Amino acid sequence: MSWVHSNPILCLCLVILILAGIPVLLYFPTHRNLEHLPLLKPVDGFSLLDIKSKTAFVFRSKELLAKGRALFPQSPYRMITDLGEIVFLPVGLADEIRNDPRLSFGSAFGEGAAVHTYNDSVLQTIVRKELTKSIVINPMSVEATHSLSINLEWREIELKSVIVDVVARLSARVFLGKDLCRNEDWLRATKEYTINFFVAGTHLRMIPRPLRPLLHWFVPKCRELRASFNESRRIIMPAIHRRRVARAAALTAGEKIPEFDDAIDWADREAAARGVGYDPAIMQLMLAVAAIHTTTDLVTQFIIDLALNPEFVAPIRQEIVHVLRTTGMKKSALHDMKLLDSALKESQRHKPPGLASMRRRAEKPLTLSNGLALKVGDRIAIDTYRMNDPELHKEPEKWDPYRFLRISEQPEKSKFAQLVVTSPDHLAFGHGEHACPGRFFAAYEIKIILCHLLLKYEWELVPGSNIAPMVLGLTYAASPVARIKIHRRRELELDIDSL
């Protein structure tokens, strides 16, 4: 029984089940509402607790989704994934489900993705209400100068690890303010937490759901995740305590209460207004995870795409120089960089951050327009293949930075050409009410980083470097091991640091 040696966690699960006197069958899915839909299993035959099917999906998801599209091009079908059984809907239903209140975005991720919990309503509100309107471009530009200068000392670098650090520093400047944003211990802990958050979630999903509250204590990546969390709490809680003490003292003395225009302050005010409690350390970590993960992925992929297509560096750089000379480093300037925006959206189209989007869980029964009846607990998603569909995009395999610029010139499609605008044809940020609320902030942050990179540096891929995206379940991430050679430019068209 070789599987005994290759699946130690599964063995431990079975031992616990037997000792507890619980029939294994209790842990097979009992919900039979959707049995009439075709089921695509990653592994043929019997798979105890679906472990083999889940593992196969983690490593073969792109191939399996392509098979699903070929077999059921316009019909819903079920697939066993590492997240459990999911119904993949045709993209034509995207607008129908986008804002349906009976479908939950938050609970669709409730199968052990995180060890810690947090008040999602407070997080969503501060991102939607405070984050974008509070962005001050110049401090972020200063932080970009600092973070790039300390990261790009060497000619050859592992690209993604450097971009993770740059994005973490810029995000911390907005979330924590200037006093905490350069705390090296905090930055290290948040970067480690972000990486372990996704890996630990994948490991947990291999374990039957009822056993996760117990077995997560023994999963190595979960232990590392808790260590990063505890370190983050150790760093940030004294600073939060000092702020609260200062506020209380000012209130007692009848003096003006000090205000800090950052995410710590926003979360405190929002939680007080709602009358709810929240963990500020977890809140900051969830903000960091959301900001670092997707932003790093797009910046990394864009740098790779430009290295593969160096003929487009000059026109994008020229646009940046022209706009910054005319407007300065402002939000409006970043908005006016139309070619850069188009090129970023093209990188996102060419390599989306996920193989599926619009993941939802039914919280109330509902019937879709195609007659599909969903009951409470059913999970759905939509494949993101449409972004590379030759019926929609000419030569979809080609990276064309002008693609969305041309689309913006078509009156009926112009509003969908911007990076931050979602549609059923472009699901990289999701779509509808639950589309990524931080995408506006991310767009500003990404453009600031790239303005500095393109004006100050030249780069090329290291020969033989692995630039293939990493597929892990529904995650489709820019290569974590791609390497580039980078050096400072000697002649600069514009001194961006003086703006």
Binding site as annotated, residues for heme: 436
Q: What are the helix and strand counts (H, E) for the chain?
A: 17, 13
E strand or H helix that includes residue 268:
helix 263-274
Tokens of 20: 């507890």
Tokens of 23: 């029939």
CA distance 193 to 174: 19
Alpha helices in 33-97 (DSSP H): 51-71, 94-97
Are the beta carbons of 416 and 426 closer than 8 angstroms? yes
CA distance 30 to 10: 20
HSE-CB for 190 with a 13 A CA cutoff: 34
Q: 349 - beta bridge partners?
A: none
For residue 50, give the amino acid letter.
Answer: D
Are the beta carbons of 288 and 193 closer than 8 angstroms? yes
Q: What angle do CA 334, 348, 343 make, to 5 degrees?
A: 45
Q: Determine whether 107 is exposed, middle or buried from the number of CB atoms within 10 Å of its CB (0-12, 13-18, 19+).
A: middle
For residue 422, give the amino acid letter.
Answer: T
E strands within 138-214? 156-158
CA distance 244 to 387: 47
Question: Sign of torsion, CA 79 81 85 86?
Answer: negative
Q: Could you list the residues known to form a binding site, using ranges.
A: 436
Tokens of 371: 């007659």
Tokens of 226: 């808790």
Are the beta carbons of 459 and 430 closer than 8 angstroms? no
Q: Which of 161, 158, 180 is nearest to 171 (CA)?
A: 180
